[in-house]
Structure formats: structure tokens, C-alpha cells
Chains A and B, each alone.
Chain A
């Protein structure tokens, strides 16, 4: 951590947040929220939380902003302007937030100083992770090993939360049964007429395969550098979003159909829980990847853990990629897949 930098960034972030909530235009607020997330990503990097920064860069700054843009596109940019504000609600909100802030300020005197290596949070279980990750799992990136091995249950249910969120979006947007999401228009050429811009189309089409390759690299290299299933999956999903934006929504919906996406998401979760069940069948605990040494040729218990982490990361990436695509395509077309951003 570099404290001069930190103070500049934190101040910038507060200004950005204040402006984000006070701007009277939803599109502007979405853009500002994107810039806010960009600065957040910088802050995490500077504090040494590289994996969090990677996730924030891909999820917070990228996909969240795109989702906000999608809803502004589907609904309206308008924010109602009043001559007289709602004094009561504003006062109530201000009082509540001031009270919460006051209590937290009061409590902050008990917090350990920032950057204190002997802070209680750093002293109970995390030294174990740092000291034993190489000996236990042969994964140098401690975040990956904690995420997928030491706290594997946690991550499994996080993945199912993602799947549930995707299903919830589908259900909410088609609650009344009037929209079925299909049949998708059949065309001779998959590329619909629409926004004909050769430059943007060509650049996006030329870059998409490389970006997908990069996403696979992020997924596979998560053991040794920041990255892993969540980040790789989000970047894979974002390449589909890029194609949907620069070409046409139909291109993505026809090649990567809703059925495929849902099946892939479920397969992803199934890979995760299946790996755990495989360990159970081989006589160890659920998600204890050391059991995989019995079936992977030439693996010791340590490298088997590394391989098990790889397997569950692939599952996570599949689930996250499909759900991101499903959420985007449904939000931007209001559940009908007809016309996108």
C-alpha cells in the first residue's frame, strides 16, 4: 500500500460517489457509477487486493455499468425534478444516515490502525493459509486456494446464488406469461440489419476471439496470478456482450441460445458439486480434493488438490459466463430477445 496515493484516491472516490447520486440524469448516473467503479478497482490494486481488483474491473466496472445502460435504454433517462423537495423523506434519510455514521465513527476509535500487521483480522486463521498453501495445495495464489479449497463450500453456494439470480431475472421479466422469450426470429443471415458501422463491427469481431482466448488464459492461470473462475467467466460473458452491442442482439441469441446458456450454467454448478461428490465416493470428505489422487494418474495428494481447484474453477466459469449473458440479453430486450442496445 502506498499511502499518498491512497489518500488521493479515497478523496476522489467520495467526490465521485456524491456526484453520482446527485446528478439528475440516469444515463449520466450510470456513466458516473462506471467511473466510480474504475476508481474502486484502482484502490483495490493499490491496497494489494489484486483478485478483488480483477473482479471489480470485470464485474463492477464492466458488467454492472452495461446492465445500468441496458435498463436506461429500456426505460427512461428521466429523473423527476421538483421545485420543492420531499423534505420529510430527505430529512428522514439524512437523520438515519447521520445516526449510522455517528455510531460507526464512535466505533472506529476501537479499530486497529490501518496497515497494522498485528490487527486481529490478520491473526487467527489467515496466517495458516499463507503458510500452508504451497505445502497443502501447490497453488501460490492464496486467494484461489482459499476460495476453491479451504472455503470451497462457500464458493459452491455463491455459484448457486448466481444461478438463482439468473433464474430470478427470467422469472421476473416473464412473470405474466405474455412473454415467452421465443420463438427467435429466423433469418437467412444471422446478422440483422441495424447499426451498420463497419469500423466498430470489424474491430469487435476481430478482437472477440483474442479476448476469449485471454479469458481462458485468466481462467487457467488463476493458480499463479490473479484471476480464476469468476473473472474468466465474466470476461467470457463480456465478449458475448461486446458482440451483442456491436452487431445485433440476434447474433448472440441465435448462436448462444437461452437453452444452451441455461444448460451450461447448470452443467457448471454440476461440475462443482460433482467434483465434491466424486471426492465423497472416493472415500474422503465432500470437496476434499486429495481423494482425486486415486484417479488422476501420477498425482500426489498435493497436486490432486491443485487439479481439483482447476475443475471447480471451470465449473464456476461456465456458470458465471452463462448467467451474465442471460441477465444481459433479457434485461436489454425486456425478456423478448427482439432488439437490443
Chain B
């Protein structure tokens, strides 16, 4: 069973890496919030899996629950931001600025 759990965790990690691509690529800031939320939920699962691999799962479930809760609060807080700051542009900011963004800032 342990090797199965190991492979499961590595596969989840790989998928988290792919989700990280969406966070990096954007294009809007809300896509990033969504990606962070997905990564947070999956980390909850990973924490329980790590607990089972260590063989001390009773110690890890509390962390997972606290983690899920804080992930929820952060997501709600981040989305509340847009209730106060409407009319943010469609296009989020990336690493490189697009030409239109630069002109808009001037």
C-alpha cells in the first residue's frame, strides 16, 4: 500500500505543478486566485497522505483541517477585494507588461 501512496502523492505533486502553470500564465488575477485555491485543496489531501506514509496519521489530520480552513478564508478574502474595487481591468498584470497596460498607466 505504501508504494501506492507514494506514487499517488508524486502524481498529485505533478498535477500541482501543472496547476502552477495556470497561476503563472494568468491571464487575469482571478485565474491566479482559482489556481491557488485548487493547490490549497490538494495540499490538504497531500498532508493526510504524508501522515499515512509516516504511519502517524492521527498527528496530521489536525494540520490538514486547519489548512483547509485557512485556505477557505484566504480565498474568501481575496474575492472580497473585487467587491470594493470594481472595474478592474480584464487583463491582469503578468511578469511582462503588455503594451496596452503601459499606455494605460501613463
- The reply to whether A54 and B66 form a contact with Cβ atoms under 8 Å apart is yes
Q: How far is B94's CA from A231's CA once the two chains are assembled, in angstroms?
A: 35
Chain B residues with Cβ below 8 Å from A4 are: 6, 10
Which stretch in A72-80, A118-126, A160-168, A179-187 binds the other chain? A72-80
Q: Are A45 and B50 also in contact (CB < 8 A) when A28-B92, A38-B36, A69-B78 are?
A: yes
What residue in chain B is nearest A217 (Cβ atoms)?
B62
Name the prevailing secondary structure of the A interface residues: helix
Whose C-beta in chain B lies nearest to the C-beta of A69? B77
B73 to A45, Cβ gap below 8 A? Answer: no
Q: Which of B35-56 contact A (CB under 8 A)?
A: 35-36, 39-40, 43, 46-47, 50-51, 53-54
**Known contacts A15-B20, A214-B65: does B43 contact A41 (CB below 8 Å)?**
yes
A238 x B69 contact (CB < 8 A):
yes
Assembled-state Cα–Cα distance A2/B49 (Å): 12
How many A-B residue pairs have C-beta atoms within 8 angstroms? Tell me: 168
A32 CB, min distance to chain B CBs, angstroms: 7
* Partner of B36 from A9, A35, A63, A242 at Cβ < 8 Å: A35
- Nearest residue (CB) in B for A72 is B81
Q: With A4-B10, A200-B76 as known contacts, state yes or no: A31 contacts B36, CB within 8 Å.
A: yes
Name, among B6, B43, B58, B67, the residue most crowded by chain A CB atoms within 10 Å (CB to CB): B67
Tell me the nearest residue of chain A to B36, going by C-beta. Answer: A35
Please tell me if the beta carbons of A2 and B6 are within 8 angstroms of each other in the complex: yes
- Docked pose: A217 CA to B23 CA in angstroms: 35
Interface residues in A201-253 (C-beta closer than 8 Å to B): 204, 211, 214, 217-218, 221, 225-227, 231, 235, 238, 241-242, 245-246
What size tier do the contact residues of chain A reach? 35 or more
B residues 76-106 in Cβ contact with A at 8 Å: 76-78, 80-81, 83-85, 88, 92-95, 97, 101-102, 105
**Number of B interface residues in the complex (CB < 8 A):** 55
B56's nearest neighbour on chain A, judged by CB, is: A50
Which residue on B lies nearest to A215, using beta carbons?
B66
Name the residue on A nearest B69 (C-beta): A211
Q: Determine if A338 is an interface residue (Cβ-Cβ < 8 Å).
A: no
Cα separation A53 to B67 with both chains bound (whole Å) = 10
CB neighbours of A214 from chain B (8 A): 65-66, 69
Instruction: Give the residues from 48 to 68 in chain A that come closer than 8 angstroms, CB to CB, to chain B.
Output: 48, 50, 53-54, 57-58, 61-63, 65-66
Does residue A42 face the partner (Cβ distance < 8 Å to B)? yes
Asked whether any CB of chain B lies closer than 8 Å to the CB of A19, the reply is yes
**Additional A-B contacts beyond A41-B47, A45-B63, A341-B84 (8; CB < 8 A):** A4-B10, A23-B95, A38-B36, A50-B59, A57-B67, A57-B70, A61-B74, A231-B66
For this complex, 18 residue pairs linking A to B, each with C-beta atoms less than 8 Å apart, are: A2-B6, A8-B13, A9-B13, A12-B17, A12-B20, A16-B20, A34-B36, A42-B46, A57-B70, A62-B69, A66-B74, A81-B101, A218-B62, A225-B59, A231-B66, A238-B69, A238-B70, A245-B76
